[in-house]
Amino acid sequence: MKKRVVVTGLGAVTPVGHSASESWQAVKEGKSGVGRITLFDCGEFTTQIAAEVKNFDAKNFMDGKESRKMDRFSQFAVAAAIEAMADAGLGAGSFDAERGGCALGVGIGGFQTIEESLRVLVAKGPQRIPPMTIPKLIANIGPGNVSIHFDLRGPCYTVTTACSSGADAIGSAVRWIESGAMDFMVSGGVEAAITSFGIGSFNAIQALSTRNDEPQRASRPFDRDRDGFVMGEGAGVVVLESLEHAVGRGARIYAEFAGYGMSCDANHLTAPHPEGRGAVSAMRMALAEAGMRPEDIDYVNAHGTSTPINDPTETKAIKEVFGQRAQGIRVSSTKSMTGHMLGAAGGIEALFSVLAVHEGFFPPTANLDNPDPLCDLDYVPNKGAAGNIRAAMSNTFGFGGQNGILIFKKHA
């Protein structure tokens, strides 16, 4: 018998808040975190906007010496994990260190460190490369830093499946708990790729919005005037725990994990399958694992990137899976406010889906002023709404044809 898995802790560092509660409140109110790039001189770039985490000081979350050994993405990971563990009530000495682990989705890793060290190499030669370069940039060091901080001696690893990384990390982490091997896992996604190389590289494939004169209106999923995604950064982390362990220590339960689906389009390096083949497969897989029918889902947190191809393809896939139910379900993209946080997207959107179920609130899709005729579902345009949500599905898709789907339900 698989153990039931519940969510007992939440933590976030996002373009709209330095905590889960602050980020969720901003999203509920439709507030955008997009603005002109300040992390580097963007004057020569086609895209000059992004959803940055503003005024972030790692020393507010950890020792200054500790933070200086980390790339920005690791700092985000540790900060979000600190909040999530505190929220779950898992303090030092309150758990078996060998029965807890960490799995995080990281799409790219230490871009900031790579750029800084390459500049040193070119300007001063190989002997001057900082010795902490590799320990700061490698993708597995995000969860590594989290595990070191909390003395988590169970599984510790990174999942890298592009923009599905955060969701796939959560889906993977659940398996350790379901099997009984772990009592809890810290999981989610993290990314910090708003650098000159990151923005320039995505510009090279014409993936980013160039609405530089209206930053807060640039991310507009399902709108006919969308022109690309807006890059975001940050971390979304949840504490996953066996129901038995959570109840035994009197933990608060936000929601229960219900199902996970993972697939590959096997179609194209960057574009989704035109019929949403892989997305359909992964959604059906998640529903099957959850033992649910389409009519059991009340909300879908869409991948909804604000790109010309993704949004209608996802709409088509939802229609294929949900049939007539598609017109009665509410679908929204919180990327309209946070931007696309790449490897962190699945983590923060899982967190938002959990809170949607917990509070009974459908977050809006901001900037949806002129709906694309090909996108004709209820996307909760511009204003969120309260309502009963029995179960929520969180969709994530990524380059390489990756598809990761999570379902959370009310705990009963």
Active site positions, annotated: 163, 303, 340
Q: Evaluate whether 211 touches 227 at the Cβ level (below 8 Å).
A: yes
Q: How far apart are CA 211 and CA 163, in angstroms?
A: 22
In terms of Cα–Cα distance, which of 383, 384, 411, 348 is closest to 167? 348
**Residue 216 DSSP label:** G
Strand-strand pairing, 299-301 and 391-398: parallel
Cα atoms in the Cβ-side hemisphere of radius 13 Å centred on 321:
31
String of b and e for 274-307 (b: at least 16 CB within 10 Å)?
A: eebbbbbbbbbbbbebbebebebbbbbbbbbbbb
Q: How far apart are CA 277 and CA 280, in angstroms?
A: 5
Look up tokens 């899709």; give the residue: 365
Look up tokens 């209608």; give the residue: 312
Q: How far apart are CA 6 and CA 21, in angstroms?
A: 19
Contacts of 324 (CB under 8 A, 6+ apart): none
Q: What single string gives the DSSP state of each residue in 314-338?
A: HHHHHHHHHGGGGGGSEEE-THHHH
* Cβ burial, residue 62 (10 Å; 0-12/13-18/19+): middle
Secondary structure of residue 363 in the 3-state scheme = coil
**Residue 166 DSSP label:** H
Q: Evaluate whether 177 touches 5 at the Cβ level (below 8 Å).
A: yes
In terms of Cα–Cα distance, which of 45, 46, 57, 51 is closest to 18? 57
